[in-house]
Amino acid sequence: MAFMSIILLLYLLSAAGYLVFLFFQKQILHKLSYGILSAGFLLHTVLIGYEFAHLGFFPVHTLHHTLSFTSWTLAGVYLLLKYRYHLNILGAFAAPLTAAVMIAVVCIPAVPTEHGAQLKSIWLILHVGFIFIGQACLALACGAGILYLIQEHAIKSKTSRFFLKRLPSLEFIDVTGYLFIIIGFTMLTVGLITGFVYAHQVWGRFWSWDPKEIWSGVSWLIYAALLHGRLAAGWRGRRSAVMAIIGFAALLFTFLGVNIFLEGHHDKFTRW
């Protein structure tokens, strides 16, 4: 728990640094926040690796471990995509979200649960890995969508130049968010396919109309509609940003809401 508290502290410091960076726009603040987030991610990687080795199976069998993996993928995907696409200001969304999830991890006890051979399946590792990486990319796409709406409002209102001076151009935010959606949708699709294989291995059928499966399909269709609309109907800007936010809301409900309000055979992975 002490090791996890250190990770949480690093994520909180990074989140605070990025929020200060949003106000003062000093590159030293961004570099410092990026470095602290990287340090937290590296320590988190060590922790997850230790749990994997200690437990003998992929540590996603409780809500505590699932949220820990979520926080880890959020940090890792942002660090990687930021390095590639240079959307520094998105750290003011990604780092606080990572820290918020990690707070939940620390608050929820890691209670021991029963586990079987199905948790050692390579298909489970592939399924969870691709799904969570895809969700992290789509979370960043949601963040980009929020930034787009904020910047669009700042341009139209002409009353406040705070965000106008601090956020990138609408075109840059739109294109970057679109790239995040392409990557996330691809990962989500591969994750669903490997999930079908895993379901057949464990439950003897590819599809069982489980609530988690249904809502995963709904979320996938929302992003499929967004990509189709962008390619076929030229959806850009505000419409694309709103759809990215709606899609991520559906993903959140699929991840947490289904297990809280509905029953299904996926709830064993989010017990607490």
CA distance 22 to 105: 26
Place of tokens 């003897």: 204
The pTM (predicted TM-score) of the whole model is 0.88
* Of 197, 31, 221, nearest in space to 122 by CA: 197
| Beta-carbon contacts of residue 67 (< 8 Å; ≥ 6 apart) | 101, 102, 104, 105, 108
Predicted confidence (pLDDT) per residue in 59-75, tens digit: 777 888 889 999 999 99
- Residue predicted with more confidence, 129 or 202: 129
Q: What is the pLDDT of residue 256?
A: 79
Helix spans in 62-121 (H): 63-85, 91-107
- Residue predicted with more confidence, 23 or 245: 245
Q: What is the pLDDT of residue 145?
A: 94
Q: What is the pLDDT of residue 117?
A: 59
pLDDT at 269 over 80: no
138 token code pair: 């789509």
